[in-house]
Amino acid sequence: MKVLVCISHVPDTTSKINFSDNDTKFDANGVQFVINPYDEFALTRAMWLKEKQGATVTVLNVGNQTTEPTLRKALAIGADNAVRINAEPTDGYFVAGEIASYAKKENFDLILAGKESIDYNGGMVPGMIAQMLELDFVNACIGFEVDGDSVKATREIDGGKEILQAKLPLVLAGQKGMVEEKDLRIPNMRGIMMARQKPLTVVEPTHENSKTESTKYEKPQQKSACKMIDAENLDELISLLHNEAKVI
């Protein structure tokens, strides 16, 4: 079984975010980048397929050379090889098009990705990949089992879970539940050393057209200071909620 795991290179959630060029560009200076957490769930699940069913796992990222440490970490976790499509990821359509173009040539049995990246939270790439490749797609996947060419997938829906049956090849977009956080793997020294010997292939883009453009970024407003009200002073509380907070 050939498995492709799509990897996004995203800022760590503890990083301080700033913008440059009159708030038109993201400032990456001083920002720590990591594997997108939703993609890491998918990667860990792919490792189970490798260990239990002998799957070959390829990780792929659309990005410039700065994303290679993230791909190397995925290799250290256990992926067999890595591919970097040498292009700036301008929007979701562009990224999906580049991934689909590569995947079409390689005939993967299963394509895994996180349901969204934690930087732009677009949530569009996995579905677009499935559409471009004309494959079945399961979103918000919290678990699946592969038996031959049959897949039994469980996805989260409002108020419950849905169990679906599908055939390979297939695209799955995962989230927490595909594996638990305690199951995520930290690369050990042996994995890190082996990752240096594993292939990381750089592929030139097919130059898919972008459909959108970011023109400006804006930080959310800072939270105002908290006001403490005496528990007995309900009139003042109601006045502040009505006149200042404007929630009643």
The reply to whether 57 falls in a domain is: yes
Q: Read off the pTM.
A: 0.88
How many domains does the chain divide into? 1
Q: Residue 162 is part of which domain span?
A: 2-215
The reply to whether 15 falls in a domain is: yes
Alpha-carbon span 80 to 103, nearest angstrom: 16
The reply to whether 24 falls in a domain is: yes
Check which CATH number belongs to the domain holding 74 and give it.
Answer: 3.40.50.620
The reply to whether 91 falls in a domain is: yes
Alpha-carbon span 24 to 1, nearest angstrom: 43
The reply to whether 231 falls in a domain is: no
Q: Could you tell me if 33 and 74 are in contact, meaning their C-beta atoms sit under 8 angstroms apart?
A: no
Alpha-carbon span 135 to 107, nearest angstrom: 12
Q: Which two tokens stand for residue 145?
A: 């089992």
The reply to whether 240 falls in a domain is: no
139-165, pLDDT tens digit by residue?
999 999 999 999 999 999 999 999 999
7-57, pLDDT tens digit by residue?
999 999 888 889 999 998 889 888 999 999 999 999 999 999 999 999 999
User: Which residues, in sequence order, are CB contacts of 149 under 8 Å at separation 6+?
Assistant: 109, 167, 168
So what's the pLDDT on residue 128? 97
The reply to whether 224 falls in a domain is: no
N- to C-terminal Cα distance for the chain? Answer: 58
The reply to whether 226 falls in a domain is: no
Phi, psi of 33 (to 5 degrees): -105, 150
